Structure formats: structure tokens, C-alpha cells
Amino acid sequence: PTIYVLNGPNLNLLGKRQPEIYGRETLEDVELLCRDVAPGYQIRLLQSNYEGQIVDWIHEAREDACGIVINPAALTHTSVAILDALNTFEGPVIEVHISQVHKRESFRHHSYVSLRADGVIAGLGIEGYAAATRRIVSLTQ
Ligand code: DQA
């Protein structure tokens, strides 16, 4: 089985971008963490700065993935298209935010994706991805 770990805009710069907020670890570190907690599963970690690309990957996940871990980044707060795409996916979806979004600007407090997510993690740093992946494993094995 395959778990998709989807990442939205600017997360390609994880480790370099505002490290005081997002830490110094990179998406490669995220991938290793996810692999570690899901033996026997394939991890497909993807990142795009484009909303439509993320929608397309969610459509691929319909055929290919048993669950989705998603950090939609800024699209969390704006994207009905990502919410609608996730609503076509039948497996578990866990939403991850590296930072504690509820402690930040009020525009980060609302998430369209939370209307679909089976779990939401915020403020655990990149460990949130491991927790989310572990949850997908326990819901699907
Ligand atoms: C984020 C929080 C979002 O508000 C922000 O736009 C991001 C990253 C996080 O992981 O903490 O780009 O999703």
C-alpha cells in the first residue's frame, strides 16, 4: 500500500524558509521520518507550489493510495478546490501544519481542508508528519 504525503506552496524551501517558525529540517527529513513509521508501506512525498497540481495528485491518490497526509500550506486557508478533491478520496486524510497555526495570525485559524480531514495536527514541527503517517497505518492495516 502507498501513502501520499502532499505538500503545498513554499514547502520546497523547508529548512531554509523562516527557520524560527518552521525549523531547519527539510522535506527529505520528513520523507525519512514517514518511511520509518510505516514499514511495509510505500511513501510518496510530493510538493508543489501550484494548486492544480495538488488537485491532480489527489485524483491520482484515488487509484493509488490508501491514505493521504497533507500539509496544504497557504492553500489550507483559501482552497475550496483542494477540499473538493479530498472529498472524492475515500481513504483516511490527516492534515498537518508544522507551526501552531492557532497561535499565529487569525487568517491561519480557518482551514477548508479541516472540513474533510479525519485528523488535524499543528505545532509539532515535522514530527507531525510522523504522527499523521502512523495514524494512516493504524487506520489501514
Ligand atoms: C503551514 C501553515 C500555513 O499557515 C502556512 O501558510 C504554511 C505552512 C505549516 O505547516 O505550519 O505555508 O501549513
Each residue's pLDDT tens digit, 39-87: 999 999 999 999 999 999 999 999 999 999 999 999 999 999 999 999 9
Q: How far is CA 100 from CA 21, 22, 47, 66, 120, in A?
A: 9, 10, 21, 27, 11
Mean pLDDT of 113-135: 98
User: Cβ–Cβ contacts within 10 Å for residue 90, how many?
Assistant: 10
- 22 carries an active-site annotation: yes
Cα 56 to Cα 13: distance, rounded to the nearest angstrom: 22
**Residue to probe by mutation, ligand 1, list 12, 21, 54, 98, most atoms within 8 Å of CB:** 98
Question: Would you say domain 2-140 falls under CATH 3.40.50.9100?
Answer: yes
- 97 carries an active-site annotation: yes
4-18 residue pLDDT tens: 999 999 999 999 999
Q: Tell me what percent of the residues of the chain surpass a pLDDT of 70.
A: 100
pTM for the model? 0.98
Q: How far is CA 59 from CA 104, 108, 131, in A?
A: 31, 26, 24
Task: Output the pLDDT for position 17.
Answer: 93
